[in-house]
Structure 1
């Protein structure tokens, strides 16, 4: 064998090694969540070095908490998080499809198919499948009984959480659910010891500054300050001078006058992003004003939107009292729940808001119930926005059949990339029936043949009996946007990973803050 041939073989081996390494890392990530999918999916226990335990079958939670070091595995985890951020559900499906695309792609490379042809085929197959899913989506009204099935399936059959989610969805209305900037899952609040309820309003996870302030206010004017409620500061060096000290006294006096404006305006609730000075606390407390300090920016903005208040800085209090009045909001009722240690703002004059309050007996359980409720809320909103498709892996199997029809139109070796998509689309169904205790190879073939024979894309498997049933008739449905986004993101990350043919360790570089070197 010539030296040239040896070098060429070595180069090929190195590239295959990189692909195999990436494929193994992706396979490990997918295996961490595969046992959780479907109605018979089980839980995963995650334990940290301090012995803290999280028990869940929520895919994104598992991926977020598990220790991941390999770059390709991290890419897959980011894909799952992207799925969660965009549609709030379907992370396990996205992970399984992406993992299958990568592993099947690597197998084709080992057989001698060029990576560029595989990627070409994956793109073609994913495009066909996406078009099919969009065509199969059935619109859903907010009062449709199937919407509860969406909530139940995403909420892992928790009847109480499904009911809470539907109540909140109807409370905010269809137009709000269709708003891309609104996320129903963000209305979920979980508290230990709370009772399940939905109410029109927002929750601030803070209590009043002192017990002398009122615990309940009816018909409250609201002031929202995106700043500290303290006098402007003066540098210590300046305080040492007479002019600086006089300026300090002047600022203190101005600040007290500004606080007095709040009292004169009849404000009864002041929400502050940062800290509140002792002087402000004293004046407002004497005036019967409830003050909430160090409120998270997210909660502050939600309260402002609900009450119609406009956020201001502390310097905004220098304005004329008539100008400040225009920035105030209003709430029908504000009260502190001493048991749950939070304040509720109800009946605001601004945008309609709903809060889904979910309770449980312990911190561990309440955390899982919060994740379940957020999944249900996200699924309900996605179903309203983009309709529903047959669940239980049936629609992916039907999409695989559609892609197989298109395979004949693909030229050359790109067809092997299309095969990767076909196998990946079978993956969710296979894992669901496997978790239910059935032979996945047998059930895939049975349903594949039944769908073709009866021309019904909604046929799947009853995970209790193993019988072939119509998923739509059984109410086993999923939001179409969840499936569409899962397939799209899975295709993108699989392509990105398959394009990597060399892994190089970076040299040590200076850190951005100049504190030495780090190895990347």
Structure 2
């Protein structure tokens, strides 16, 4: 090969490494933004926008989604974190930290001359084995009275006893069967309000007020009608109103609408919830009848009310049916209460499916959002624990899995083993970061814990962040849902593989709209 060819080949390699290093640096920068929050001694992050508005949080996904990140690789990692939050509801910081470590180790191997394909092959093998081991280590949780449930909530709730107790109480009210329902998100039952008292009750909250002050403030033993539509007359085109037949049709629709509203009154409905607007005629008639009406209710809240009260949502055309048919669509609840201070309506003790609401109080507006995030994390963690069981936290599980993954290395041929090393490095990262955030030497603590786990055969050993001593995480009550761990680990492997596969970055051309006149001229 000539010197010119060698120089050309070298330039190609440098260009590809430049793309890889650039992407890796972006991933590491994102990971470094959240790693300081990991563990019981993790600190908060302050996010400030251009208007000076401040958000102070310890929540990984909140930091990631609110921070300014323009690099495409960084956005890839943020999207993975969002997916984890959507699917599991917790563990985004762990996923991000492990992804940063795995990508960093992968780039180092490629820089040493290991082909990217071999690194990716090793990462896949290591992640596959790691997931198997994690699932094998899971301890099932079959009873909501199991003390581990409270510990899961306490750890995910960042040590807030009051929030952990609220969420556990709500979980017991809802029941195991509901928590196992794939369509049910326990975290959706959580809300925080400034000035509210911490409480859990069987029912749902609608974040709206009745249409006017003449409507009742409180009702008992209530029939509930849920209209997934507007409570207004059917519309007729303006052009049609200009004709005699059109005007006659308009008057017919108005009379029909009044008759439909009268049906609601005749059925002695106490509460009407409407997806969209309510016509003035309907408001006046229903107010005179002592019926509470709430309009423009969020669809999610509408569905929850229907599910809890046993109501069947209907369209406005459904009111054309006879009284007996409409009656079959009504739900029922023991109490409806309008809280003027919080500007909410509480619907309690419905005849449908059990639905508990966790109301978390906050002293000031500044901490409302953070307390709600903490409670939602705790709720998500409990649901994940019920579904898949628990494992020791504090980085203990990851370190035990790292030892098992290292055994896979011996069976690997060629350079694929170097990819397995990347997975091992990522698995060590959570404990290292937790120890560093607690003020200890991470290398020393990893060595101490690994030696203790091997010597005792106890995979639940990690570092007590208060004393720095090796301790059993189960005994300390430091436990995490296995689904949080597996999803975070899998996500880290996916993002590492995706980043390592990119060797060229090309700017896309901008798609410009073509002027039809220019096309004609052509």
Q: Indicate whether the TM-score tops 0.5.
A: yes
Alignment of 1:72-83 (within 5 A): 72-83=73-84
> RMSD in angstroms over aligned alpha carbons?
1.4
Q: Which residue of 1 aligns with 2:311?
A: 309
Q: Which residue of 2 aligns with 1:235?
A: 237
1:138-185, Cα deviation, whole Å (9 max, x unpaired): 012211112111111111111100100110010001111111211211
- Map 1:264-283 onto structure 2 (within 5 A): 264-283=266-285
**Among candidates 190, 193, 196, match of residue 191 of structure 1:** 193
Runs of 4+ in 1 over 3 A off after TM superposition: none
Matched, 1:473 2:444: no
- Aligned partner of 1:106 in structure 2 is 107
SS at match of 1:472: helix
Partner of 1:36: 37
Q: Following TM superposition, by how much is the alpha carbon of 1:10 offset from its aligned partner in structure 2, in angstroms?
A: 1.7
Distance 1:411 1:182 in 2: 46
Partner residue in 2 for 1:4: 5
Aligned partner (choices 387, 399, 402) of residue 401 of structure 2 = 399
SS of match in other structure, 1:449 = helix
1:482 aligns with 2:467: no
Name the structure 2 match of 1:121: 122
Alignment of 1:491 onto 2:511: no
In 2, the alpha carbon distance for the partners of 1:479 and 1:394 equals 13
Counterparts of 1:320-331 in structure 2, within 5 Å, are 320-331=322-333
Query: Does the residue aligned with 2:335 lie in a helix, a strand or coil?
Result: strand
CA deviations over 1:383-403 (Å, ceiling 9, x no partner): 111111111011101111111
Secondary structure, counterpart of 1:38 in structure 2:
coil
> After superposition, what is the alpha-carbon deviation per residue over 1:441-468, rounded to whole angstroms, capped at 9, x for unaligned?
1111111111111111111111111111
Deviation at 1:241, TM superposition (A): 2.6
State how far apart, in whole Å, the 1-side matches of 2:322 and 2:113 are: 77
Q: CA deviation at 1:246?
A: 2.1
Q: Distance in 2 between matches of 1:237 and 1:220?
A: 43
CA distance in structure 2 between the aligned counterparts of 1:328 and 1:508, rounded to whole angstroms: 54
Aligned partner of 1:518 in structure 2 is none
Rounded Cα–Cα distance in structure 1 between residues aligned with 2:288 and 2:66: 47
Q: Secondary structure at the match of 1:400?
A: helix
Cα distance in 2 for partners of 1:319, 1:18 equals 66
Distance 2:380 2:139 in 1: 18
2:291 maps to 289
Deviation at 1:249, TM superposition (A): 1.5
Question: Matched residues in 2 for 1:209 and 1:292: separation?
Answer: 6
User: Which residue of 2 is the match for residue 65 of structure 1?
Assistant: 66
Deviations 1:255-304 (A, max 9, x none): 11111111111111100011101000001001111000010000000000
1:343 aligns to 2:335 (yes or no) = no
Shift of 1:240: 2.5
Residue 511 of structure 1: CA displacement? 6.7
Residues 320-353 of structure 1: CA deviation (Å, up to 9, x unaligned): 2221111111111111111111001111111110
- Determine the C-alpha separation between the residues in 1 that align with 2:467 and 2:334: 53
Match of 1:373 in 2: 375
How far did 1:312 drift?
A: 1.0
Structure 1 Cα separation of the partners of residues 435 and 394 of structure 2: 9
DSSP-derived class of the 1:469 partner: strand
CA distance in 1, matches of 2:27, 2:359: 37
| CA pair 316-511 structure 1, distance change in 2 beyond 3 A | farther
- For 2:170 and 2:54, the matched residues in 1 are separated by 31
Structure 2: distance between partners of 1:239 and 1:63: 55
Deviation at 1:235, TM superposition (A): 2.1
**TM-aligned CA distance change 1:241 to 1:510, over 3 Å:** farther
Q: What's the TM-score once normalised by structure 2's chain length?
A: 0.97
Any unmatched runs of 5+ in structure 2?
517-522
Q: Which runs of 5 or more structure 1 residues have no equivalent in the other structure?
A: 515-520
By how many angstroms is 1:406 displaced?
Answer: 1.6
Rounded to whole Å, the distance in 1 between the matches of 2:394 and 2:257 is 62
Farther-moved stretch of structure 1 (244-253 vs 399-408):
244-253
Moved more, 37-46 or 150-159: 150-159
SS at match of 2:494: helix
SS in 1 for 2:197: coil
Q: Return the match for 1:334 from 333, 336, 340.
A: 336
Q: Deviation of residue 87 (structure 1)?
A: 1.1
CA–CA distance in structure 2, aligned partners of residues 464 and 98 of structure 1: 27
Q: Secondary structure at 2:270's aligned position in 1?
A: strand
Q: Partners of 1:409 and 1:285 in 2: how far apart?
A: 77
Q: Distance in 2 between matches of 1:500 and 1:258?
A: 62
1:447 and 2:433 equivalent?
Answer: no
Q: Do residues 167 (structure 1) and 176 (structure 2) align?
A: no
Tell me, what secondary structure is at the counterpart of 1:406? helix
Quote how far apart the aligned CAs of 1:242 are. 2.5
Deviation of 1:510 after TM superposition, in Å, equals 3.9
Shift of 1:505: 0.5
